[in-house]
Amino acid sequence: PSKPAPAEEGGEKESGEEGMEVDKPADEPVKTVAQDSAIDKKKEQVASILNGEVPITLKSQFLIRKSSSDMLVLKNCKDSSRNAVCHTATVIANSFMHAGTTNNVF
């Protein structure tokens, strides 16, 4: 039985299958803690996009920003309506003004 050759300076030896020693490449890049945290942060961002958190937030912000309902007009119509027909018209106007938005205050 022959003895295994001593490890060279360029790489480390590790045990493989059946007790055989295998060389590991010596030119593997060393990752720092900052690189690991940056990679983890990117993984979290990708996961939040794939989970739907980011698109839902962006869509809500867009709908709120693009809402063109005039609450003062609705408030004046609501206060001045004395009969059922006018009240119903005000409620329908409110629903049309807030259609497609996330605002449901009346």
Residues 54-82 pLDDT 10s: 888 888 888 888 777 778 888 888 888 77
Regions of the chain short of the pLDDT cut 70: 1-31, 104-106
What pLDDT, on a 0 to 100 scale, did the predictor assign at position 18?
A: 57
What is the pTM (predicted TM-score) of this model?
0.41
Q: How far apart are CA 28 and CA 89, in angstroms?
A: 72
Distances (CA, A) of 9 to 19, 24, 72, 88: 21, 11, 80, 87
What pLDDT, on a 0 to 100 scale, did the predictor assign at position 43?
A: 92
